Amino acid sequence: MTDASRTHSRTRLGGIVRQAWRDLLSVYYANTPVWRWLKSGALVFLGFFLWMGGNVLTAYWIDATALRYVIAYGFVLIAWGPITHLLVVPVVIRLRRTAENPAVRRVVRHGSRINFTTFLVIVAVMGTLAPGVMLLDFSSGFGADGGDVTADLVCETDGDPITCELETSEGVDHVVLLSGGEEIDRSDEPPYAVSAPRDSLSEGPSGAQFEIELRDADGDTLRRFVRTV
């Protein structure tokens, strides 16, 4: 390929990218009522999908810190999407046409960048702090590894140490309490009572947490419970 051909290819590619960016901006700034509601609805749907999906995945990958930011992105987007397209974008468009104050004109000229940067800052803060309102605990439903074991686990997590025991335990040989993958306590006789100091628990997405594993005589896990303090 000659230098002229390479230059032509780069120029063409650059033109395609610029046109795609202009098309994206035209959709972003489309300001008819129908477009506002369509964009807001699409972002609410995307936000809800990321928020719920991230919480479900966190029940499986407890220590995956990156999932917190996915959850935060979706959680914030549910509100930020409609605010952006029903309020921020129309105001920016109006001020670009009517503002006479130079300072205001400078701000609105970068309105979309300011809005998106603010959004990312809020996502970063929410993902770092991980407030309880943002996190849903699916661990109880997804933390049990099937089997035909009949068991009713009762835990007392208000005190220190936390304690658990089985009210029914058909088919169970012994029970262990684990935190962060390490065995903290074990019981080999009914009611299979186990306990652990609160400061020995590992941190999960919704707070300190521990696992209770019901095992057979060979040490194989029959059922697993995840509990959050």
What is the biggest distance separating any 2 CA atoms in the chain, rounded to whole angstroms? 83
Instruction: Write out pLDDT tens, residues 11-24.
Output: 777 778 888 878 77
Q: Which residue has the higher pLDDT, 143 or 217?
A: 217
The token duo for 50 is: 């990321």
89 CB burial (10 A radius; 0-12, 13-18, 19+): buried
Residue whose C-alpha is closest to residue 28's, from 78, 88, 108, 95: 88
**Sign of the C-alpha dihedral, residues 21, 35, 49, 131?**
positive
Instruction: Write out pLDDT tens, residues 155-181.
Output: 888 888 889 988 777 778 889 998 878
pTM as predicted:
0.59
Strands (E), the chain: 150-156, 162-170, 174-179, 182-187, 194-196, 202-204, 207-215, 221-228
Three-state secondary structure call for residue 175? strand
Report the alpha-carbon distance of residue 163 to residue 201 in Å, rounded.
12
Looking up tokens 């009611």, which residue turns up? Answer: 191
Residue whose C-alpha is closest to residue 150's, from 170, 134, 130: 170
83 CB burial (10 A radius; 0-12, 13-18, 19+): middle
Please report which residue ranges of 110-218 form alpha helices under DSSP H: 111-129, 139-142
Mean pLDDT value of segment 104-128: 90
For residue 133, what is the DSSP state? G
Which of 65-79, 119-133, 206-220 is predicted with the least confidence, judged by mean pLDDT?
206-220
pLDDT at 64 over 80: no
pLDDT at 223 over 90: no
Count other Cβ atoms within 10 Å, centred on residue 9: 11
pLDDT at 45 over 80: yes
Residue whose C-alpha is closest to residue 142's, from 35, 44, 228, 70: 228
Percent of the chain with pLDDT over 90: 21
